[in-house]
Structure 1
Amino acid sequence: MTIQVGNINLKGRVILAPMSGVTDMPFRRLVKAHGASLVISEMIASQAMIRLTRQSLRMSSHVPEEFPMSVQLAGCEPEVMGEAAKLNVDRGAQIIDINMGCPVKKVVNGHAGSSLMRDETLAAKILEATVKAVNVPVTLKMRTGWDDKNRNAPRLAKIAEDLGVQMITIHGRTRCQLYNGRADWSFIQSVKDAVKIPVIGNGDVVTEEDAQNLLKQSGADGVMVGRGAYGRPWFLNQIDHYLKTGEKLPDPGLSEKKDIMLAHFDDMMLHYGEETGIRMARKHMAWYSKGLPSSADFRVAVNQAALPQNVRDLIQSYFDPLLESQERSL
C-alpha cells in the first residue's frame, strides 16, 4: 500500500516523526537509506527561518537521498508561516509540515505548537496562509486536543482538509498528557472518519506489533515512528516489511551496527563540526549501545571524550571484544 500526499506518492506506510535534537540531516539520511517512506525535519521556528539564522538554515538543510524531504514549521503568525514555507520550498523542500502538536511549555507559551488547537480561528488562518504560499503539499501534525474535555482534532482536521492540507498526522495524546500515559490509537479513527485525505497515526510505536495494532485500532493510512527509532534507524524498514509480509526482519548484527555507528558519527562531524557534533552524537551512541554488555561504561567513556578520534576509538574498542566473543561462541 502507498500513500498519496498531493502529487507525491510515498512508497510505503511508515514515516519518521519530526523530533527536536534528533531528526537532523545525518539521522534523516540514515533512516531514509534504511527504507523509511518519509522523513521530516526537526521543528523549525518560522520567525527564525525568515531571519535565516545559522541554526534554522542548518536544520532545514537536506540532501537528495531524503526525497521527498519534508520541513516542519512552527509559529503563530500566518504571514510569517507563509514566508517561512516559501523560503524552504525555494531551498528544495518538497513538503511543508505544520506543527500544531508540540506540547513543550516554551513553544505553547509562544502560542504555537499544540496551543493552536485552542484557537481554531488562528489555526485556520495559519493553514490557509501556508497552503496559499507554496506550490507543494502542506501537511499537518497535531494531537487529539488540548485536554480530555477538548479533543477537537476531528473538527480541526476537517478545517485543514477544506483549506487544502494534503495529509494529517495525529499523536494519540492530548497536550496536557505530554508524553505520559498511553496514546489513544482508537480516537484517531474519529479523525479518519472526518476527512478523505490520508491520516497517519503516531504514538507509542516501539515494536512491529505496535504499528500493526495502531493501524487496526485507528483505521489510519500509515504510522509515524518517533522515540521507537532511537538507536534503531533500521526500525522503520522492519515495520514496513512486517506490515507487508507478516515476517520480522532481524536487527543488524554487531559488525553492521558498529559500521552504522561509525558512519553516523562521521556524518555528524561533517554536519555540525567537531565540538557541536560530539555533543550531539552522545545521545545517539548511548541509544545504539542500549542493551549490549557493559553499555553503561561505554556511555560514560563517550560522554567524556573530547575529540572525534577518541569517540571512533571507543566504538572500535567496545565492539571488537564483543565481536571476538561472538566468533568464539560460533
Structure 2
Amino acid sequence: MAPMAGVSDAAYRLMARAGGAALAYSEMVSCAGLYYGEKSWELVDPDPAEPEIAVQLFGSKPELFRESAERVATRLGERLALIDINMACPVPKVTKKGEGSALLENPALAADIVRACRSGAPDVPVTVKIRRGRYMGQEVAPEFARAMEDAGAAAVAVHGRFATQMYHCEADWGAVSRVADAVGIPVIASGDILSHDAARRVLAETGATAVMVARGTYGNPWVFSGHEPSVAEKVAAFECHVRLLEATGAHLKRARSLAGWYFKGMPDAARWRNAAMSCVTADEFLAVAAEVRAHVCPEACS
C-alpha cells in the first residue's frame, strides 16, 4: 500500500494489511517536521496492532535526512521495514522548496540524501520513489535510478508519469520497464494500478518485483487479494474502518472520504455520501452505514 498524504494513517494501513497488502507505508513525513517538532511523529508511530511499516520521508537537506533516519530507526526498531525517500511528489508547495520531484533535476543532491539516510540508519533498507521525470518529454528515470542504486538505494519505485502531469493522463508502464532494465535492484511499479488484474499485468509486462497501489485502495482493501466484495462486505468494511479511526485516535472527518469510496457504485450512493458529509462522531457514521445496510442489502440484517 502506497504512502498517501492525508490518507495512509494507521487505520488505513491496518485495513490494507487485513486485505492482503504485503507492506503498508506511512504518509509522507517531513524531515524538518521530525527534527523541529513533535507533531510529525504522529505520522510515523505505528499502532500497537500493526506489524512492521515503511516510513516515507521528504525534504531536501541531507543532514536532516540523516538525523531523521536515525531517529525513526531508533524509535521504531524492528517494526521499521524500510525508509523510503520521496522524489516523486509533484505538488508545487513541495517542489518549490527543492523537495519531492524537484530532486529529479538534481541527482547529485538526491544521491547525497540516500547516502545520508544510510549513514543515519545503516541497518535499515533505504529506497526511493521517483517519476519518469519532472517535465513532459524529459524522461530521466533510468539514469536517475542508476545513480540512486550507486548511492546505495535498496529498491526504487517508479511512477509512470512526469511530475507536471500530476495524476492526469495514463501512466506509462514502459517507464517501469526501462528502469528495470537499467538497474540491478528491485523495481516497484506505481501509477494506474487500480485493480488486482492491473497489478498482475504490470508485473508480467515490466519486470517489476512488486507493485505499489494508491488510488486503487480507495474503498477497496481487497485489491491486494483480488476478492470481489459484496455490498454487505463493503458496508461492514466501512464500519470497521470507522471504528479503527476512532480506536487509533485519527480525525474522524476522514471517514467522510471513506464513505464516498466504500459506497461508490451502490444504489443511491450520492445520498449516502451526502449523509456522511454532515457526520462528526463515529456513532453518526455508523448510523449512516446502518441505513445503507437497511436500504441496499436488507438481507444482511438477518
TM more than 0.5: yes
Question: Counterpart in 2 of 1:32?
Answer: 17
- Indicate yes or no: 2:134 matched with 1:155: no
Report the alpha carbon displacement of residue 320 of structure 1 after superposing the two structures with TM. Answer: 2.1
Q: Corresponding residue for 2:32?
A: 47
* Among candidates 77, 84, 93, match of residue 61 of structure 2: 77
Per-residue CA deviation, residues 106-132 of structure 1 (Å, 9 max, x unaligned), is 110111000000011111111110111
Look up the equivalent residue of 2:263 and give its one-letter code: S
- Identify which of 260, 264, 282 aligns with 1:308: 282
Deviation at 1:232, TM superposition (A): 0.4
For 1:319, which of 288, 293, 299 is the aligned residue? 293
- TM-score by length of structure 1 reads 0.86
For residues 186 and 217 of structure 1, what CA distance do their matches in structure 2 show?
Answer: 8
Partner residue of 1:268?
245
- The aligned amino acid for 1:254 is V
Deviation at 1:327?
A: 8.7
Contact 1:33 1:65 in 2 (8 A): no
Is this contact kept in 1: 2:155–2:187, CA < 8 A? yes
CA contact (8 A) 2:231 2:266 kept: no
Deviation digits for residues 119-153 of structure 1 (CA, Å, limit 9, x no counterpart): 11111111110111102111110101112343111
Gaps of 5+ in 1: 1-15, 239-248
TM norm structure 2 = 0.93
Looking at structure 2, the residues matched to 25 and 51 of structure 1 have their Cα atoms a distance apart, in angstroms, of 23
Matched, 1:250 2:234: no
The AA in structure 2 aligned to 1:321 is H
Segment of structure 1 superposing worse, 287-296 or 189-198: 189-198
In the alignment, residue 281 of structure 1 is paired with which amino acid? A
Partner Cα separation in structure 1 for residue 18 and residue 36 of structure 2: 32
Task: Supply the distance in 1 between the matched residues of 2:109 and 2:139 (Cα, whole angstroms).
Answer: 17
Q: What are the equivalent positions in structure 2 for 1:87-166 lying under 5 Å apart? A: 87-92=71-76, 93-134=80-121, 135-166=123-154
Q: Note the alpha carbon deviations across 1:203-222, whole angstroms, 9 max, x for none.
A: 11112332232223322111
Is residue 235–residue 292 contact of structure 2 (8 Å, CA) maintained in 1? no
1:85 counterpart letter in structure 2: A
Once the two structures are overlaid, the 10-residue window that deviates more, 201-210 or 164-173, is: 201-210
Identify which of 180, 184, 207 aligns with 1:192. 180
Given candidates 179, 201, 219, the residue that maps to 1:213 is 201
Task: Work out whether residues 101 and 131 of structure 2, in 8 Å CA contact, stay in contact via their aligned partners in 1.
Answer: yes
Unaligned runs of 5+ in 2: none
Amino acid at match of 1:122: L
Partner Cα distance (1:194, 1:300) in 2: 48
> How far apart are the structure 2 equivalents of 1:151 and 1:100?
14
The CA deviation string for residues 212-258 of structure 1, in whole angstroms up to 9 with x for no partner, is: 322233221111111011000111122xxxxxxxxxx322x233322
- Give the fraction of aligned pairs with identical amino acids, expressed as a percent: 34
| Contact 2:294–2:301 under 8 Å retained in 1 | no
SS in 2 for 1:234: helix
**Separation in 1, partners of 2:182, 2:148:** 11
Relative distance call for 1:137 and 1:65 in structure 2 (3 A) is farther
* Structure 1 residues 112 and 20, CA gap change in structure 2 (3 angstroms): same
- The answer to whether the Cα contact below 8 Å between 1:47 and 1:80 also exists between their aligned partners in 2 is yes
Q: 2: distance between equivalents of 1:326 and 1:128? A: 54
Q: In the alignment, does 2:47 pair up with 1:63?
A: yes
Q: 1:296 aligns with which of 267, 270, 275?
A: 270
For 1:320, the aligned partner's letter is A
Q: Aligned Cα RMSD in Å? A: 1.7
Shift of residue 325, structure 1, vs aligned partner: 5.7
- Tell whether 2:160 aligns with 1:176: no
The residue that corresponds to 1:9 in the other structure is: none
Q: Which amino acid aligns with 1:96?
A: I
Query: Distance in 2 between the 1:155 and 1:65 partners?
Result: 40
Confirm or deny: 8 A CA contact 1:68 1:95 kept in the other structure: no
The Cα offsets for residues 282-328 of structure 1, whole Å up to 9 and x where unpaired, read as: 10111000000111111111111233212111111111232226799
**Distance change (3 Å), C-alpha of 1:198 and 1:210:** same
Distance 1:130 1:327, change over 3 A: closer
